[in-house]
Amino acid sequence: MDRFFSILATCPLFFNIGEEDFAALLSCLNAKTRHYERGEMVFRAEDPATHVGIVAAGAVDVVQEDFWGNRVILTRLTQGDLFGEAFSCAGVEKLPVSVMAVEDTAILLVDYRRTITTCSNACAFHTRLIFNMLRILASKNIALTRKIEFVTRRTTREKLLAYLSAQANEARRGEFTIPFDRQALAEYLAVDRSAMSAELSRMQREGLLTYEKNRFALKAPRDSS
Amino acid sequence: MDRFFSILATCPLFFNIGEEDFAALLSCLNAKTRHYERGEMVFRAEDPATHVGIVAAGAVDVVQEDFWGNRVILTRLTQGDLFGEAFSCAGVEKLPVSVMAVEDTAILLVDYRRTITTCSNACAFHTRLIFNMLRILASKNIALTRKIEFVTRRTTREKLLAYLSAQANEARRGEFTIPFDRQALAEYLAVDRSAMSAELSRMQREGLLTYEKNRFALKAPRDSS
DNA sequence: AAAAGGACGTTGTTTTTACAACAAGTTTGA
DNA sequence: TCAAACTTGTTGTAAAAACAACGTCCTTTT
Protein backbone atom coordinates (compact mmCIF):
# COMPACT_ATOMS: atom_id res chain seq x y z
CA MET A 1 0.00 0.00 0.00
CA ASP A 2 2.97 2.18 0.72
CA ARG A 3 3.68 2.76 -2.91
CA PHE A 4 0.29 4.40 -3.41
CA PHE A 5 0.98 7.19 -0.96
CA SER A 6 2.58 9.44 -3.51
CA ILE A 7 -0.38 8.99 -5.83
CA LEU A 8 -2.93 9.60 -3.12
CA ALA A 9 -1.05 12.65 -1.94
CA THR A 10 -1.74 14.25 -5.31
CA CYS A 11 -5.47 13.60 -5.01
CA PRO A 12 -7.28 16.84 -4.20
CA LEU A 13 -9.26 15.07 -1.50
CA PHE A 14 -6.08 14.82 0.53
CA PHE A 15 -4.75 18.24 -0.31
CA ASN A 16 -2.92 19.90 2.55
CA ILE A 17 -2.83 16.79 4.64
CA GLY A 18 0.67 15.91 5.72
CA GLU A 19 2.05 12.61 4.54
CA GLU A 20 2.83 11.80 8.14
CA ASP A 21 -0.91 11.86 8.87
CA PHE A 22 -1.70 9.53 6.04
CA ALA A 23 -1.52 6.24 7.83
CA ALA A 24 -3.74 7.51 10.65
CA LEU A 25 -6.15 9.03 8.19
CA LEU A 26 -6.51 5.93 6.07
CA SER A 27 -7.17 3.78 9.09
CA CYS A 28 -9.60 6.31 10.57
CA LEU A 29 -11.47 6.37 7.26
CA ASN A 30 -11.36 2.60 7.17
CA ALA A 31 -9.89 2.98 3.68
CA LYS A 32 -9.26 -0.22 1.80
CA THR A 33 -7.24 -0.77 -1.31
CA ARG A 34 -8.85 -3.31 -3.55
CA HIS A 35 -7.66 -4.82 -6.79
CA TYR A 36 -9.80 -5.48 -9.81
CA GLU A 37 -9.08 -7.35 -12.98
CA ARG A 38 -10.15 -6.15 -16.37
CA GLY A 39 -13.93 -6.24 -16.53
CA GLU A 40 -14.54 -6.49 -12.81
CA MET A 41 -17.12 -4.18 -11.30
CA VAL A 42 -16.05 -1.65 -8.69
CA PHE A 43 -19.53 -0.21 -8.27
CA ARG A 44 -22.66 -1.64 -9.75
CA ALA A 45 -25.69 0.42 -10.73
CA GLU A 46 -28.36 0.15 -8.02
CA ASP A 47 -25.71 -0.24 -5.32
CA PRO A 48 -26.11 2.20 -2.45
CA ALA A 49 -23.83 5.22 -2.76
CA THR A 50 -21.85 4.74 0.39
CA HIS A 51 -18.25 4.96 -0.77
CA VAL A 52 -15.99 7.12 -2.83
CA GLY A 53 -13.22 5.60 -4.89
CA ILE A 54 -9.81 6.82 -5.91
CA VAL A 55 -7.96 5.23 -8.78
CA ALA A 56 -4.56 4.29 -7.36
CA ALA A 57 -3.44 2.44 -10.47
CA GLY A 58 -5.00 1.37 -13.73
CA ALA A 59 -8.20 2.77 -15.18
CA VAL A 60 -11.96 2.42 -14.86
CA ASP A 61 -14.92 3.30 -17.02
CA VAL A 62 -18.05 4.87 -15.64
CA VAL A 63 -20.83 3.22 -17.61
CA GLN A 64 -24.56 3.61 -17.77
CA GLU A 65 -27.24 1.48 -19.27
CA ASP A 66 -29.94 3.27 -21.23
CA PHE A 67 -33.60 2.34 -21.45
CA TRP A 68 -32.97 -0.09 -24.30
CA GLY A 69 -30.13 -1.82 -22.49
CA ASN A 70 -27.30 -0.23 -24.44
CA ARG A 71 -24.20 0.33 -22.35
CA VAL A 72 -22.84 3.86 -22.66
CA ILE A 73 -19.40 4.84 -21.42
CA LEU A 74 -19.74 8.18 -19.68
CA THR A 75 -16.09 8.71 -18.87
CA ARG A 76 -12.78 6.99 -18.30
CA LEU A 77 -10.91 7.64 -15.08
CA THR A 78 -7.24 7.07 -14.46
CA GLN A 79 -4.66 7.39 -11.74
CA GLY A 80 -5.53 9.98 -9.11
CA ASP A 81 -9.13 10.41 -10.24
CA LEU A 82 -11.93 10.42 -7.72
CA PHE A 83 -15.37 8.95 -8.33
CA GLY A 84 -18.64 8.43 -6.54
CA GLU A 85 -18.27 11.59 -4.48
CA ALA A 86 -21.19 13.41 -6.09
CA PHE A 87 -23.61 10.55 -5.51
CA SER A 88 -22.45 10.08 -1.95
CA CYS A 89 -22.61 13.76 -1.09
CA ALA A 90 -25.96 14.23 -2.80
CA GLY A 91 -27.36 11.38 -0.77
CA VAL A 92 -28.73 9.41 -3.68
CA GLU A 93 -30.12 6.07 -2.63
CA LYS A 94 -28.97 4.00 -5.58
CA LEU A 95 -26.11 4.56 -7.99
CA PRO A 96 -27.36 5.28 -11.49
CA VAL A 97 -24.05 4.16 -13.02
CA SER A 98 -21.60 1.31 -12.81
CA VAL A 99 -17.85 1.54 -12.55
CA MET A 100 -15.84 -1.13 -14.31
CA ALA A 101 -12.11 -1.81 -14.43
CA VAL A 102 -10.76 -1.55 -17.97
CA GLU A 103 -7.46 -3.15 -16.98
CA ASP A 104 -5.84 -4.43 -13.83
CA THR A 105 -6.67 -1.72 -11.39
CA ALA A 106 -6.18 -0.71 -7.77
CA ILE A 107 -8.86 1.36 -6.09
CA LEU A 108 -8.79 3.02 -2.72
CA LEU A 109 -12.28 2.85 -1.30
CA VAL A 110 -13.28 5.09 1.56
CA ASP A 111 -16.53 5.26 3.43
CA TYR A 112 -18.19 8.58 2.62
CA ARG A 113 -19.76 9.02 6.05
CA ARG A 114 -16.43 8.72 7.75
CA THR A 115 -14.86 11.38 5.60
CA ILE A 116 -17.42 14.06 6.31
CA THR A 117 -18.16 13.16 9.90
CA THR A 118 -15.91 14.40 12.63
CA CYS A 119 -14.78 11.29 14.44
CA SER A 120 -14.57 10.63 18.15
CA ASN A 121 -10.79 10.98 18.03
CA ALA A 122 -11.27 14.54 16.85
CA CYS A 123 -8.78 13.97 14.07
CA ALA A 124 -7.56 17.27 12.69
CA PHE A 125 -7.85 16.18 9.11
CA HIS A 126 -11.61 15.71 9.04
CA THR A 127 -12.14 19.43 8.76
CA ARG A 128 -9.62 19.48 5.99
CA LEU A 129 -11.33 16.60 4.20
CA ILE A 130 -14.67 18.37 4.31
CA PHE A 131 -13.12 21.54 3.04
CA ASN A 132 -11.38 19.64 0.25
CA MET A 133 -14.58 17.88 -0.67
CA LEU A 134 -16.42 21.19 -0.90
CA ARG A 135 -13.69 22.50 -3.11
CA ILE A 136 -13.71 19.45 -5.35
CA LEU A 137 -17.45 19.59 -5.84
CA ALA A 138 -17.51 23.34 -6.35
CA SER A 139 -14.66 23.30 -8.84
CA LYS A 140 -16.29 20.57 -10.84
CA ASN A 141 -19.47 22.58 -10.72
CA ILE A 142 -17.76 25.58 -12.23
CA ALA A 143 -16.08 23.49 -14.90
CA LEU A 144 -19.36 21.83 -15.84
CA THR A 145 -21.21 25.12 -15.96
CA ARG A 146 -18.54 26.57 -18.20
CA LYS A 147 -18.71 23.65 -20.53
CA ILE A 148 -22.47 23.92 -20.74
CA GLU A 149 -22.11 27.54 -21.78
CA PHE A 150 -20.08 26.37 -24.74
CA VAL A 151 -21.88 23.26 -25.86
CA THR A 152 -25.34 24.80 -25.68
CA ARG A 153 -24.43 27.24 -28.46
CA ARG A 154 -26.10 26.34 -31.69
CA THR A 155 -23.30 26.56 -34.23
CA THR A 156 -19.69 25.46 -34.26
CA ARG A 157 -18.60 29.06 -34.71
CA GLU A 158 -20.53 30.20 -31.67
CA LYS A 159 -19.10 27.36 -29.62
CA LEU A 160 -15.60 28.25 -30.68
CA LEU A 161 -16.07 31.94 -30.01
CA ALA A 162 -17.57 31.29 -26.59
CA TYR A 163 -14.74 28.96 -25.70
CA LEU A 164 -11.97 31.14 -27.05
CA SER A 165 -13.46 34.24 -25.46
CA ALA A 166 -13.48 32.49 -22.10
CA GLN A 167 -9.87 31.44 -22.57
CA ALA A 168 -8.91 35.00 -23.48
CA ASN A 169 -10.70 36.37 -20.44
CA GLU A 170 -8.93 33.88 -18.26
CA ALA A 171 -5.57 34.77 -19.74
CA ARG A 172 -6.54 38.44 -19.47
CA ARG A 173 -5.31 39.01 -22.99
CA GLY A 174 -6.29 38.17 -26.54
CA GLU A 175 -3.38 35.83 -27.01
CA PHE A 176 -3.24 32.52 -25.23
CA THR A 177 -2.63 28.81 -25.58
CA ILE A 178 -5.27 26.18 -25.07
CA PRO A 179 -4.77 22.82 -23.38
CA PHE A 180 -6.39 20.81 -26.17
CA ASP A 181 -5.34 19.58 -29.56
CA ARG A 182 -7.95 19.82 -32.30
CA GLN A 183 -9.47 16.42 -31.71
CA ALA A 184 -9.79 16.99 -27.99
CA LEU A 185 -11.21 20.46 -28.49
CA ALA A 186 -13.77 19.11 -30.93
CA GLU A 187 -14.78 16.46 -28.42
CA TYR A 188 -14.97 19.00 -25.63
CA LEU A 189 -17.19 21.27 -27.71
CA ALA A 190 -19.16 18.30 -29.03
CA VAL A 191 -18.59 19.03 -32.71
CA ASP A 192 -16.97 17.27 -35.62
CA ARG A 193 -13.23 17.79 -35.78
CA SER A 194 -12.92 18.42 -39.49
CA ALA A 195 -15.91 20.76 -39.50
CA MET A 196 -14.33 22.61 -36.61
CA SER A 197 -11.01 22.86 -38.42
CA ALA A 198 -12.81 24.26 -41.43
CA GLU A 199 -14.67 26.75 -39.28
CA LEU A 200 -11.45 27.86 -37.62
CA SER A 201 -9.74 28.57 -40.91
CA ARG A 202 -12.84 30.38 -42.14
CA MET A 203 -12.73 32.56 -39.05
CA GLN A 204 -9.07 33.20 -39.59
CA ARG A 205 -9.72 34.14 -43.21
CA GLU A 206 -12.37 36.57 -42.02
CA GLY A 207 -9.87 38.19 -39.70
CA LEU A 208 -11.63 37.26 -36.46
CA LEU A 209 -8.56 35.57 -35.10
CA THR A 210 -5.26 34.00 -35.91
CA TYR A 211 -3.86 30.74 -34.67
CA GLU A 212 -1.03 28.37 -34.97
CA LYS A 213 -1.22 25.02 -33.26
CA ASN A 214 -2.48 25.61 -29.74
CA ARG A 215 -1.77 29.33 -29.73
CA PHE A 216 -4.67 31.61 -30.54
CA ALA A 217 -5.01 35.37 -30.85
CA LEU A 218 -8.42 37.00 -30.90
CA LYS A 219 -8.75 40.22 -32.87
CA ALA A 220 -10.76 43.39 -32.29
CA PRO A 221 -10.49 43.18 -28.53
CA ARG A 222 -12.77 45.02 -26.19
CA ASP A 223 -12.15 48.70 -25.71
CA SER A 224 -10.36 48.62 -22.38
CA SER A 225 -10.83 52.34 -21.71
CA MET B 1 -36.96 40.41 7.98
CA ASP B 2 -39.48 38.20 9.67
CA ARG B 3 -41.48 37.81 6.51
CA PHE B 4 -38.51 36.20 4.74
CA PHE B 5 -38.29 33.33 7.18
CA SER B 6 -40.73 31.16 5.31
CA ILE B 7 -38.82 31.72 2.07
CA LEU B 8 -35.46 31.02 3.61
CA ALA B 9 -36.79 27.93 5.28
CA THR B 10 -37.42 26.46 1.84
CA CYS B 11 -33.84 27.13 0.76
CA PRO B 12 -31.88 23.86 0.71
CA LEU B 13 -29.02 25.55 2.54
CA PHE B 14 -31.22 25.69 5.62
CA PHE B 15 -32.79 22.29 5.20
CA ASN B 16 -33.44 20.50 8.46
CA ILE B 17 -32.72 23.55 10.57
CA GLY B 18 -35.57 24.33 12.89
CA GLU B 19 -37.27 27.67 12.45
CA GLU B 20 -36.64 28.32 16.11
CA ASP B 21 -32.90 28.29 15.40
CA PHE B 22 -33.19 30.75 12.56
CA ALA B 23 -32.65 33.96 14.42
CA ALA B 24 -29.56 32.59 16.15
CA LEU B 25 -28.25 31.18 12.91
CA LEU B 26 -28.68 34.36 10.94
CA SER B 27 -26.92 36.40 13.56
CA CYS B 28 -24.15 33.82 13.93
CA LEU B 29 -23.63 33.91 10.17
CA ASN B 30 -23.75 37.68 10.24
CA ALA B 31 -26.41 37.42 7.55
CA LYS B 32 -27.67 40.70 6.18
CA THR B 33 -30.70 41.36 4.07
CA ARG B 34 -30.01 43.99 1.47
CA HIS B 35 -32.31 45.62 -1.02
CA TYR B 36 -31.44 46.41 -4.59
CA GLU B 37 -33.27 48.39 -7.19
CA ARG B 38 -33.57 47.32 -10.78
CA GLY B 39 -30.11 47.44 -12.38
CA GLU B 40 -28.16 47.54 -9.12
CA MET B 41 -25.22 45.19 -8.77
CA VAL B 42 -25.27 42.57 -6.04
CA PHE B 43 -21.90 41.12 -7.01
CA ARG B 44 -19.55 42.63 -9.49
CA ALA B 45 -17.10 40.64 -11.61
CA GLU B 46 -13.62 40.79 -10.08
CA ASP B 47 -15.06 41.06 -6.58
CA PRO B 48 -13.64 38.53 -4.15
CA ALA B 49 -15.91 35.51 -3.73
CA THR B 50 -16.56 35.85 -0.03
CA HIS B 51 -20.33 35.66 0.23
CA VAL B 52 -23.22 33.56 -0.91
CA GLY B 53 -26.54 35.15 -1.71
CA ILE B 54 -30.10 33.95 -1.43
CA VAL B 55 -32.88 35.63 -3.35
CA ALA B 56 -35.48 36.50 -0.73
CA ALA B 57 -37.66 38.49 -3.12
CA GLY B 58 -37.45 39.69 -6.69
CA ALA B 59 -35.01 38.36 -9.27
CA VAL B 60 -31.41 38.73 -10.36
CA ASP B 61 -29.47 37.94 -13.52
CA VAL B 62 -26.07 36.32 -13.48
CA VAL B 63 -24.21 38.07 -16.28
CA GLN B 64 -20.82 37.69 -17.83
CA GLU B 65 -18.88 39.90 -20.17
CA ASP B 66 -17.13 38.19 -23.06
CA PHE B 67 -13.82 39.15 -24.62
CA TRP B 68 -15.46 41.67 -26.94
CA GLY B 69 -17.37 43.33 -24.15
CA ASN B 70 -20.75 41.79 -24.91
CA ARG B 71 -22.84 41.15 -21.84
CA VAL B 72 -24.27 37.63 -21.73
CA ILE B 73 -27.00 36.57 -19.33
CA LEU B 74 -26.06 33.18 -17.97
CA THR B 75 -29.14 32.59 -15.87
CA ARG B 76 -31.96 34.28 -14.04
CA LEU B 77 -32.51 33.50 -10.37
CA THR B 78 -35.68 34.02 -8.42
CA GLN B 79 -37.04 33.58 -4.95
CA GLY B 80 -35.29 30.92 -2.93
CA ASP B 81 -32.37 30.54 -5.34
CA LEU B 82 -28.83 30.45 -4.04
CA PHE B 83 -25.86 31.96 -5.85
CA GLY B 84 -22.16 32.43 -5.37
CA GLU B 85 -21.77 29.19 -3.46
CA ALA B 86 -19.68 27.45 -6.10
CA PHE B 87 -17.18 30.28 -6.38
CA SER B 88 -16.93 30.61 -2.64
CA CYS B 89 -16.50 26.91 -2.03
CA ALA B 90 -14.02 26.55 -4.86
CA GLY B 91 -11.95 29.32 -3.40
CA VAL B 92 -11.75 31.40 -6.55
CA GLU B 93 -10.05 34.72 -5.96
CA LYS B 94 -12.18 36.88 -8.21
CA LEU B 95 -15.72 36.40 -9.37
CA PRO B 96 -15.89 35.81 -13.13
CA VAL B 97 -19.51 36.97 -13.26
CA SER B 98 -21.68 39.80 -12.04
CA VAL B 99 -25.08 39.53 -10.40
CA MET B 100 -27.58 42.26 -11.19
CA ALA B 101 -31.06 42.92 -9.87
CA VAL B 102 -33.64 42.81 -12.66
CA GLU B 103 -36.31 44.34 -10.45
CA ASP B 104 -36.63 45.48 -6.88
CA THR B 105 -34.98 42.68 -5.02
CA ALA B 106 -34.09 41.55 -1.54
CA ILE B 107 -31.00 39.42 -1.05
CA LEU B 108 -29.82 37.62 2.04
CA LEU B 109 -26.05 37.77 2.07
CA VAL B 110 -24.08 35.41 4.25
CA ASP B 111 -20.36 35.19 4.75
CA TYR B 112 -19.15 31.93 3.28
CA ARG B 113 -16.41 31.36 5.84
CA ARG B 114 -18.88 31.58 8.67
CA THR B 115 -21.15 29.00 7.16
CA ILE B 116 -18.55 26.31 6.77
CA THR B 117 -16.50 27.07 9.86
CA THR B 118 -17.58 25.71 13.19
CA CYS B 119 -17.94 28.75 15.40
CA SER B 120 -16.76 29.25 18.94
CA ASN B 121 -20.32 28.89 20.22
CA ALA B 122 -20.34 25.36 18.81
CA CYS B 123 -23.69 26.03 17.19
CA ALA B 124 -25.34 22.78 16.26
CA PHE B 125 -26.39 24.05 12.85
CA HIS B 126 -22.92 24.50 11.40
CA THR B 127 -22.56 20.80 10.80
CA ARG B 128 -25.94 20.86 9.18
CA LEU B 129 -24.99 23.81 6.99
CA ILE B 130 -21.86 22.05 5.77
CA PHE B 131 -23.81 18.93 5.06
CA ASN B 132 -26.44 20.91 3.20
CA MET B 133 -23.81 22.74 1.20
CA LEU B 134 -22.22 19.45 0.18
CA ARG B 135 -25.58 18.20 -0.87
CA ILE B 136 -26.38 21.32 -2.86
CA LEU B 137 -23.10 21.23 -4.73
CA ALA B 138 -23.25 17.50 -5.36
CA SER B 139 -26.84 17.61 -6.58
CA LYS B 140 -26.07 20.44 -8.95
CA ASN B 141 -23.09 18.45 -10.11
CA ILE B 142 -25.25 15.48 -10.96
CA ALA B 143 -27.79 17.67 -12.73
CA LEU B 144 -25.10 19.37 -14.79
CA THR B 145 -23.45 16.10 -15.70
CA ARG B 146 -26.78 14.73 -16.81
CA LYS B 147 -27.49 17.74 -18.94
CA ILE B 148 -24.09 17.50 -20.56
CA GLU B 149 -24.82 13.93 -21.51
CA PHE B 150 -27.82 15.17 -23.46
CA VAL B 151 -26.55 18.34 -25.05
CA THR B 152 -23.29 16.81 -26.24
CA ARG B 153 -25.17 14.46 -28.54
CA ARG B 154 -24.85 15.50 -32.13
CA THR B 155 -28.39 15.34 -33.43
CA THR B 156 -31.74 16.41 -32.08
CA ARG B 157 -32.94 12.84 -32.22
CA GLU B 158 -30.01 11.60 -30.16
CA LYS B 159 -30.54 14.35 -27.64
CA LEU B 160 -34.20 13.46 -27.32
CA LEU B 161 -33.53 9.75 -27.02
CA ALA B 162 -30.85 10.31 -24.39
CA TYR B 163 -33.13 12.56 -22.42
CA LEU B 164 -36.20 10.40 -22.72
CA SER B 165 -34.24 7.26 -21.91
CA ALA B 166 -32.96 8.89 -18.74
CA GLN B 167 -36.47 9.91 -17.80
CA ALA B 168 -37.73 6.39 -18.41
CA ASN B 169 -34.92 4.92 -16.33
CA GLU B 170 -35.74 7.31 -13.55
CA ALA B 171 -39.42 6.45 -13.70
CA ARG B 172 -38.44 2.78 -13.95
CA ARG B 173 -40.91 2.34 -16.75
CA GLY B 174 -41.31 3.32 -20.36
CA GLU B 175 -44.19 5.62 -19.64
CA PHE B 176 -43.63 8.86 -17.81
CA THR B 177 -44.31 12.57 -17.79
CA ILE B 178 -41.67 15.22 -18.20
CA PRO B 179 -41.49 18.52 -16.32
CA PHE B 180 -41.02 20.65 -19.44
CA ASP B 181 -43.26 22.01 -22.12
CA ARG B 182 -41.87 21.88 -25.66
CA GLN B 183 -40.21 25.28 -25.55
CA ALA B 184 -38.52 24.58 -22.23
CA LEU B 185 -37.40 21.13 -23.36
CA ALA B 186 -35.93 22.60 -26.53
CA GLU B 187 -34.03 25.17 -24.49
CA TYR B 188 -32.83 22.53 -22.07
CA LEU B 189 -31.57 20.35 -24.91
CA ALA B 190 -30.22 23.39 -26.77
CA VAL B 191 -32.15 22.78 -29.97
CA ASP B 192 -34.75 24.63 -32.00
CA ARG B 193 -38.27 24.09 -30.77
CA SER B 194 -39.94 23.57 -34.14
CA ALA B 195 -37.17 21.28 -35.34
CA MET B 196 -37.57 19.31 -32.14
CA SER B 197 -41.32 19.09 -32.59
CA ALA B 198 -40.78 17.83 -36.10
CA GLU B 199 -38.26 15.27 -34.89
CA LEU B 200 -40.64 14.07 -32.18
CA SER B 201 -43.45 13.46 -34.62
CA ARG B 202 -41.05 11.74 -36.99
CA MET B 203 -40.01 9.43 -34.15
CA GLN B 204 -43.61 8.77 -33.32
CA ARG B 205 -44.36 7.97 -36.95
CA GLU B 206 -41.46 5.51 -36.94
CA GLY B 207 -42.92 3.80 -33.89
CA LEU B 208 -40.08 4.63 -31.53
CA LEU B 209 -42.41 6.22 -29.05
CA THR B 210 -45.77 7.80 -28.52
CA TYR B 211 -46.60 10.98 -26.72
CA GLU B 212 -49.33 13.35 -25.84
CA LYS B 213 -48.47 16.66 -24.25
CA ASN B 214 -46.00 15.94 -21.46
CA ARG B 215 -46.68 12.24 -21.32
CA PHE B 216 -44.30 9.98 -23.23
CA ALA B 217 -44.11 6.26 -23.79
CA LEU B 218 -40.98 4.63 -25.17
CA LYS B 219 -41.40 1.49 -27.22
CA ALA B 220 -39.33 -1.67 -27.52
CA PRO B 221 -38.14 -1.60 -23.94
CA ARG B 222 -35.13 -3.49 -22.69
CA ASP B 223 -35.49 -7.19 -22.16
CA SER B 224 -35.87 -7.28 -18.39
CA SER B 225 -35.18 -11.00 -18.10
C1' DA C 1 -68.97 33.67 -24.93
C1' DA C 2 -65.79 36.08 -27.56
C1' DA C 3 -61.19 37.57 -27.91
C1' DA C 4 -56.45 37.12 -27.14
C1' DG C 5 -52.51 34.74 -26.28
C1' DG C 6 -49.95 30.65 -25.99
C1' DA C 7 -48.55 25.92 -27.14
C1' DC C 8 -47.76 22.66 -30.57
C1' DG C 9 -47.20 20.79 -34.98
C1' DT C 10 -46.16 21.40 -39.99
C1' DT C 11 -43.79 22.83 -44.01
C1' DG C 12 -40.36 24.88 -47.12
C1' DT C 13 -35.98 27.27 -47.50
C1' DT C 14 -31.45 28.35 -46.17
C1' DT C 15 -27.61 27.47 -43.40
C1' DT C 16 -24.74 24.50 -41.01
C1' DT C 17 -22.99 20.15 -39.75
C1' DA C 18 -21.52 15.45 -40.08
C1' DC C 19 -19.10 12.35 -42.58
C1' DA C 20 -15.71 10.48 -45.54
C1' DA C 21 -11.69 10.70 -47.93
C1' DC C 22 -7.43 12.57 -48.65
C1' DA C 23 -3.10 15.60 -48.69
C1' DA C 24 0.50 17.94 -46.28
C1' DG C 25 3.04 18.51 -42.35
C1' DT C 26 4.77 16.83 -37.84
C1' DT C 27 6.13 13.68 -34.35
C1' DT C 28 7.67 9.25 -32.72
C1' DG C 29 10.41 5.52 -32.29
C1' DA C 30 12.59 1.55 -34.18
C1' DT D 1 17.37 8.13 -40.57
C1' DC D 2 13.37 6.31 -42.37
C1' DA D 3 8.90 4.66 -41.87
C1' DA D 4 4.81 4.64 -39.43
C1' DA D 5 1.56 7.01 -36.91
C1' DC D 6 -0.58 11.02 -35.82
C1' DT D 7 -2.23 15.87 -36.41
C1' DT D 8 -4.27 19.32 -39.02
C1' DG D 9 -6.43 21.36 -42.86
C1' DT D 10 -9.27 20.82 -47.13
C1' DT D 11 -13.02 19.55 -50.02
C1' DG D 12 -17.40 17.59 -51.64
C1' DT D 13 -21.67 15.49 -50.50
C1' DA D 14 -25.45 14.03 -47.89
C1' DA D 15 -27.88 14.79 -43.77
C1' DA D 16 -29.58 17.61 -40.28
C1' DA D 17 -30.69 21.85 -38.05
C1' DA D 18 -32.04 26.57 -37.84
C1' DC D 19 -35.23 29.74 -39.17
C1' DA D 20 -39.48 31.72 -40.52
C1' DA D 21 -44.10 31.54 -41.32
C1' DC D 22 -48.41 29.74 -40.53
C1' DG D 23 -52.64 26.77 -38.97
C1' DT D 24 -54.94 24.51 -35.27
C1' DC D 25 -56.15 23.69 -30.86
C1' DC D 26 -56.32 24.93 -26.12
C1' DT D 27 -56.32 27.95 -22.21
C1' DT D 28 -56.98 32.23 -20.10
C1' DT D 29 -59.02 36.58 -19.67
C1' DT D 30 -62.50 39.85 -19.75
Task: Compute how many other C-beta atoms are within 10 angstroms of the C-beta atom of residue A168.
Answer: 22
Mean pLDDT of B174-197: 96
- Chain B contacts of A84, Cβ < 8 Å? none
- Chain B contacts of A67, Cβ < 8 Å? 164-165, 168-169, 174, 218, 221-222
Question: Contact B190/A87, CB-based, under 8 Å?
Answer: no
| Side chain identity at residue A174, one-letter code | G
DSSP single-letter state for residue A20: G
Rounded distance between C-alpha atoms, residue A15 and residue A161, angstroms: 35
Question: Contact B90/A218, CB-based, under 8 Å?
Answer: no
**Contact by Cβ (8 Å): A180, A214:** yes
pLDDT at B10: 87
pLDDT at residue B185 greater than cutoff 90: yes
Residue to substitute from A16, A71, A144, A219, interface B, most B β-carbons within 10 A: A144
Mean pLDDT by 10 residues, chain A (225 residues): 73 90 88 95 97 95 94 92 98 97 94 86 83 97 97 96 96 95 96 96 95 92 52
Q: Mean pLDDT score of chain B, rounded to an integer?
A: 92
- Nucleotide nearest to A181 in CA–C1' terms: D7
Give the residue on B whose Cα is nearest the Cα of A168.
B67
Q: CA B198 → C1' C9, Å?
A: 7
pLDDT at residue B209 greater than cutoff 90: yes
pLDDT-derived band at B225, boundaries 50, 70, 90: very low
Question: CB-based contacts of A203: which residues, under 8 Å, 6+ apart?
Answer: A157, A160, A209
pLDDT at B111: 94
Rounded distance between C-alpha atoms, residue B73 and residue B124, angstroms: 38
- Model confidence pLDDT, tens digit, residues B143-160: 999 999 999 999 999 999
pLDDT at A199: 97
Question: Contact B138/A220, CB-based, under 8 Å?
Answer: no
pLDDT at A225: 45
- Model confidence pLDDT, tens digit, residues A19-65: 888 888 888 899 999 999 999 999 999 999 999 999 999 999 999 99
**Contact by Cβ (8 Å): B90, B45:** no
The answer to whether the predicted template modeling score (pTM) of the entire model surpasses 0.85 is: yes
Q: List residues bridging with A59 in a β-sheet.
A: A78
| Side chain identity at residue A20, one-letter code | E
Output phi, psi for B123, to 5 deg.
-60, 135
Q: Which residue is nearest to nucleotide C21 (CA to C1')?
A: A194
pLDDT at A20: 85
- Chain B contacts of A15, Cβ < 8 Å? none
DSSP single-letter state for residue A202: H
- Nucleotide nearest to B192 in CA–C1' terms: D18
